[in-house]
Structure 1
Amino acid sequence: MQLPEAFKEKMKNLMGASYQSLLDSYDQPESKGIRTNTLKLTPDELANKLPFNTQGVNWCKDGFYIDHTVRPGKNPYYYAGLYYVQEPTAMAAVEVLDPQPGDWVLDLCAAPGGKSTQIGARLQGAGVLVANELVNSRAGVLSTNIERMGITNALVTNEFPERLVDSFYERFDKILVDAPCSGEGMFRKDPGALADWSLERVDRCRGKQEKILESAHRLLKPGGVLVYSTCTFSPEENEQMIEAFIEKYPYEVETVELPGITDHGQVAWTRKQQQAIAKTLRIMPMTVKGEGHFIARLKKLPGQAENLDIKQGYAKSRLKKATRMELQDYSDFAKNNLDPEFYQKIADRLYLLGEHLYAIPTGIELERIANLKLLRPGLHLGTFKKNRFEPSYALAMALNLSQARNSCNLNDEELAYQYLKGEALNLTASKGWILIGYNGYPLGFGKASEGLIKNHYPKGLRIRKK
């Protein structure tokens, strides 16, 4: 691999005798992994279903290494949301954050969704996840991944971090800042990161990270936990960033220990030699099987309140509480097609956004999110069409097959691919909406009529070939 000369010179000066081992690591294949979606099954259950070999990741009990030649995104179980394709060291940040059911958690730089879906699985449907992504196209990918994994208690926002402060000032129990960075830990897997790297890019990323952390501080409640992570080796974006942050804001650096990871932040690479930096993690590709990460866990201490101009008057929400009359077509669909326990559980949280129906997470105040650009204000249940209700892909992925009155469980892989390509299924089924599954796990909806199941898998997600 042809590394930038400026990068090599910088790392040689920093690492000394261990520099050569870093260089040697770039001659090894990239490390690939998948992470179990524990909203749907256990890691052991997943491993037993997969047609390729897996090896456990020490620091994440839900994660597996897979061979770098495997294409995990081509398996029907991927489309069923049983796992997320994720680089193994990238799994470590959420393990450090340790979200618990009931927590309010913010993933501030969330796309494409690896860490957000990991948080969502840890919450197990209880609490609130706000997944934010500034770049519009990436936010769409994030939203799709959250839907595929069957997460029901998430909001997806498409905002500058500072725009969230009015809505969520000191509201979150835990915040993850997986900051945009110079991407030095992506060189083996992403040629674009290698081509874009420069010393100037390191400086630009540092400036962005400072602003993002400032917003994160204002969004975290006192006593809450902030985890900062990057996939770069640059001290300016890692140790020095955390050192400057704790000098400015009231935070304690908490000790981070994960199985299989022994390297910590380098105090010698900071400006003021803050010893607390030794409590952070620096994961390097020559000491673990992975691409590399930096992780710091920070606890917010009580401090003097900032004199901020937090807006108290909020705009009228475009979301509105659905009336019984407006819900008639949905209610008919739910009673005829869904298990009562499922639709009764969300009955008091149904809101309309235009023709779309959502179940918003418990505790969300509509007026506080009215000014935000929302891609997903909760679980999208479906769309009202003329004289009918059409259920959504997100609803299908949030269900178990047993929660649908009418389901079709495909045991044939070729039939599953046929459905995922958007083709009709020549199968006999009871007339009406039907939840299509593969080996016990939903893929999406179809509609049965006259011995044929018409395909309602989203056009934008359909595959061309297996």
Structure 2
Amino acid sequence: MHSNLYIPDAFLADVASYIPEHLNMADFVAYCQQPLRRAVRVNTLKMSIEAFKQACVERSWQLTPIPWCAEGFWLTRPAQEEEKLALGNTDLHLSGCMYVQEASSMLPPMALREELHEGGTVLDMAAAPGSKTSQLAALMANQGVLVANEYSSSRVKVLAATMKRMGIYNVALSHFDGQIFGEYMPERFDHILLDAPCSGEGTVRKDEDALKNWSLESNLSIAQTQKTLIESAFHALKPGGTLVYSTCTLTPVENQQVCQHLIDTFGDAVEICPLNTLFDGAEKATTAEGYLHVWPQIFDSEGFFIAKFKKRSSVPQPQQKTKKGAFPFQPLNSKDSKVLLTELTKQFGITTLPGAIYERDKEVWLFPAEFADIAELIKYQRIGILIGTRHKNGVRWEHELATALGHLANKNCFALNNQQAQDYFQGKDVELSTDSDNSGEVFLTLCGTAVGLGKWQKHKIKNSLPRDLVLNNQLITWV
């Protein structure tokens, strides 16, 4: 970011009309012109916070805790490493142990933290690329079922890839305009996150073009979409459930006014849940209503807005609709399930699976245990994880079995060193220092967590990494 960043005068005039009295425009502009501090979040499905801290000490990475997220840290790396090795190509990232995520964007899931430890049925209405989805799944400890919806078809693939890397198995992916949830799934979700599409005014510190096409007319148009989505979300929410609405923009047109639309539409059924005690210092960004309006200069972050509501009573849905078409999966019968688990136990020592086993043709899938309650209501792009494909001689295990369930194995696991990990992610076979008498498939681990599958051979482990995940640039080491 640079000091001559383009910020339209009309935008500054608009901001000046609603900036809180305790803040000033000079600080706002100054922070917009500064680069963002890089932030990461530990994926506790793969690694503990303490283990991550120790790994960073070993790498000479400097961490500063983010006050609203115990798993979040601002991160500084040695200058030479920063120059030669992208953070996304480090072992901690490739293994799924961390996610590069702007600090403010960790706030919306944190507003649901207390509720999510109970699992339940949760909806992330606008999910890609997956930062908040993976954070929600980690807060849920892979329990319950998390429906992650994304309107853009190309971003659904990115979302699915993120879920695989992060070891998540309780997610069902869908691809719809979010307005359908209130119509097809009324009062089905315990908790909902609507991180709404917005004008992105708060992202200027990482996107120099964020304000290039800014206009008040565009804000007003986007707000109409947001109002439709928040209505849909409230209809889809169970009585007693919680809804978090968030944007990465600053204007009240897309924030406070959208929240007021929710209150005006549903009246006494809406209860505001104040966020002034969400973390130490939250009161610095809390509005009179109890929302968080995070300005860049308050916490040296992106701009963000977060509001939390409780649904106090049921509301009628006059436009309820029903999905057409048959559900293409069926539960795996008890005989085949027993054979499958016998094979898993024999090869990896895994005796139970945390979910329900379904099949489609010869594919074997592990679905979230609670998924049956919502299986027939909409069409899903993907549910749970593909663990294997059955054939006449047994089962061919799939990559996701390793990344999501490798922690359950107690045999046929192989820890990769840095060179072997580079070879693996570049699609090469893993050379062994001594011959092996093992046979069949093996879970490959990095940073103490499973990253994929291989197949034992005498002098090496044959690489089973899916071709679309193969990387061809500098990985793992920078010296």
Could you tell me the TM-score, scaled by structure 1's length?
Answer: 0.90
Counterparts of 1:93-104 in structure 2, within 5 Å, are 93-98=108-113, 99-104=116-121
Which residue identity lines up with residue 409 of structure 1 in the other structure?
A
Give, in angstroms, the shift of residue 338 of structure 1.
Answer: 2.7
In 1, distance between residues paired with 2:377 and 2:256?
A: 35
DSSP-derived class of the 2:298 partner? coil
Which residue identity lines up with residue 262 of structure 1 in the other structure?
E
Contact 2:238 2:314 in 1 (8 A): no
Which residue identity lines up with residue 339 of structure 1 in the other structure?
G
Name the residue aligned to 1:216. Answer: 233
Tell me if 1:55 matches 2:69: no
Give, in angstroms, the shift of residue 455 of structure 1.
Answer: 0.9
In 2, distance between residues paired with 1:198 and 1:326?
A: 60
Distance 1:85 1:433, change over 3 A: same
Distance 1:8 1:45, change over 3 A: same
Superimposed CA distance per residue, residues 297-321 of structure 1 (whole angstroms, 9 cap, x where no aligned partner):
111121543334343x763211122
Match of 1:133 among 150, 157, 160: 150
Name the residue aligned to 2:448. Answer: 440
In 1, distance between residues paired with 2:118 and 2:315?
A: 30
Name the residue aligned to 2:7. Answer: 3
Name the residue aligned to 1:273. Answer: none
Match of 2:467 among 434, 459, 466: 459
DSSP-derived class of the 2:370 partner? coil
Tell me if 1:283 matches 2:294: yes
Name the residue aligned to 1:271. Answer: none
In 2, distance between residues paired with 1:204 and 1:24?
A: 29
Superimposed CA distance per residue, residues 144-200 of structure 1 (whole angstroms, 9 cap, x where no aligned partner):
112211122111111222333455320111100000000011111123433343333
DSSP-derived class of the 1:77 partner? helix
Which residue identity lines up with residue 7 of structure 1 in the other structure?
F
Give, in angstroms, the shift of residue 399 of structure 1.
Answer: 2.4
Superimposed CA distance per residue, residues 95-128 of structure 1 (whole angstroms, 9 cap, x where no aligned partner):
1122223222111111111111111111113211
Contact 2:126 2:148 in 1 (8 A): yes
Match of 1:18 among 13, 24, 32: 24
Contact 1:35 1:62 in 2 (8 A): yes
Match of 1:259 among 280, 291, 312: 280
Counterparts of 1:409-424 in structure 2, within 5 Å, are 409-410=415-416, 412-424=417-429
DSSP-derived class of the 2:365 partner? strand
Distance 1:359 1:2, change over 3 A: same
Counterparts of 1:150-189 in structure 2, within 5 Å, are 150-165=167-182, 167-189=184-206
Tell which deviates more after alignment, 60-69 or 93-102: 60-69
Match of 1:79 among 86, 94, 98: 94
Name the residue aligned to 1:380. Answer: 386
In 2, distance between residues paired with 1:328 and 1:402?
A: 18
In 1, distance between residues paired with 2:336 and 2:118?
A: 33
Tell me if 1:109 matches 2:161: no
DSSP-derived class of the 2:24 partner? helix
Superimposed CA distance per residue, residues 220-261 of structure 1 (whole angstroms, 9 cap, x where no aligned partner):
011111000000011100111111211111201111022233
Q: How many residues align?
A: 450
Distance 1:169 1:459, change over 3 A: same
Name the residue aligned to 1:334. Answer: 344
Give, in angstroms, the shift of residue 452 of structure 1.
Answer: 2.1
Tell which deviates more after alignment, 108-117 or 375-384: 375-384
In 1, distance between residues paired with 2:199 and 2:391?
A: 46
Distance 1:424 1:285, change over 3 A: same
In 2, distance between residues paired with 1:333 and 1:167?
A: 39
Name the residue aligned to 2:33. Answer: 27
Counterparts of 1:32-51 in structure 2, within 5 Å, are 32-50=38-56, 51=59
Tell me if 1:353 matches 2:357: no
Give, in angstroms, the shift of residue 218 of structure 1.
Answer: 1.1
Distance 1:198 1:246, change over 3 A: same
